[in-house]
Amino acid sequence: MLLRRKQLLESGVQMREQTLHGLIKMREVTAKVQPRLPPQPQQQPDEGCSSGSAGAAQRGTGAPGAGATQRHPLHSWTSHQHFPDPEVDEWDAALCAAVRQMSARDIQNLWVDFVQESSMLAFSVHVHGPESDVSARLTRVVSHSFRVSHRIQALNQVEHSRCMYVNVLTGAPQVPDLDYWRKCAKSVPLTAEQLEFCKSLMGEHARRMGSLLDERSLLTKQLESLVLGSHTGLPVLAAKLESNVARECASHSFVEDFLTRGPMKVLTPVQIALFCAAAFPLIPDATAIAAVAVELGLLS
């Protein structure tokens, strides 16, 4: 079982970046070969996004009147803290639409700001203690940022996925080996209870992954042959690969949520901030870090 989990981890880390590039290439080719479709009806608001009235949409975008097309103020937001809390304030349709237009670079810039603030706060907590005002501030920053990031991911999964295994300072791809994540895990030891939670978590993750990686390998090979040769059947294959990636993303989101969000949150705000700082300039792969922590049996 341990060997199988290690194989799943190594295969997943090696294939994830390859798959993201394959998806991007697939979309480029699909856009060229598919016939142009007539305009589609306006998309209904997502759950958690209020439709509002036309006037409300104009107020959300700063538009002075009907027919105006100014950008949502989101374009000037450089921090997760600028966003309303999605668990407290319902995001209106204008904000949801603006989030869908965010690029991977926009999302990366938000992450840079988060790591800068949270890492400084974490060091200050180390100096002044867990009962200090700065500790309370760190808790608010981490909780709010992860809720906002989770909502952005739900609304703009493609661009969010393009932020993984990318240097957020330069925007260039950067695929680390497992030793990179081992160093991150070693920098923030866990308690015995946290380590047990991670063991259970990775067992559930392995169960959820199942045959996803085997299916991914087959689909990726088929995609490569179609992109290089005939494009027949590409839309069908694209849909299968999108579904496969969505299921993997759901499993990784499950890991991240278990570690960082909600009532079952395993890591403390200080640990979360330190893990994010240790992984910088990459966005941490929560699955890889949890797996290597279990592999190494890291205890504080």
Alpha-carbon distance 143 to 85, whole Å?
10
Distances (CA, A) of 97 to 66, 102, 114: 17, 9, 23
Q: Which residue stretches of the chain are H helix?
A: 2-33, 54-61, 93-100, 104-128, 133-155, 157-161, 178-187, 192-209, 212-228, 234-260, 269-279, 286-296
Alpha-carbon distance 99 to 95, whole Å?
6
Distance of CA 23 to the CA centre of its chain: 16
Residues 150-199: tens digit of each pLDDT: 999 889 988 988 898 999 999 999 989 889 999 999 999 888 899 998 88
Name the token pair of 42. Answer: 């306006």
State the pLDDT at residue 228. 66
Most confident segment among 137-151, 193-207, 283-297: 137-151
Residue 118: pLDDT over 90: yes
Q: Which of 270, 19, 16, 296 is nearest to 179 (CA)?
A: 296
Alpha-carbon distance 86 to 69, whole Å?
25
Residues 17-34: tens digit of each pLDDT: 445 555 544 444 444 444
Q: How confident is the model at residue 67 (pLDDT cuts 50, 70, 90)?
A: very low
DSSP 8-state secondary structure symbol assigned to residue 80:
G
Name the token pair of 74. Answer: 């989101």
Higher pLDDT, 185 or 227: 185
Residue 147: pLDDT over 60: yes
Residues 268-292: tens digit of each pLDDT: 999 999 999 999 999 998 888 888 8
Distances (CA, A) of 109 to 69, 75, 114, 148, 231: 25, 12, 9, 14, 36
171 contact partners, CB below 8 Å, separation of at least 6: 104, 105, 108
Q: How confident is the model at residue 47 (pLDDT cuts 50, 70, 90)?
A: low
Q: How confident is the model at residue 54 (pLDDT cuts 50, 70, 90)?
A: very low
In this prediction, residues 189-213 reach a mean pLDDT of 83
Range with the lowest mean pLDDT among 20-34, 86-100, 137-151, 191-205? 20-34
Higher pLDDT, 38 or 114: 114
Alpha-carbon distance 135 to 143, whole Å?
12
Residues 232-245: tens digit of each pLDDT: 677 788 788 778 77
- pTM for this model (two decimals): 0.71
> Max CA-CA distance within the chain?
64
Q: At what angle do helices 133-155 and 269-279 cross, to 10 degrees?
A: 60
SS3 state of residue 268: coil
Alpha-carbon distance 5 to 258, whole Å?
18
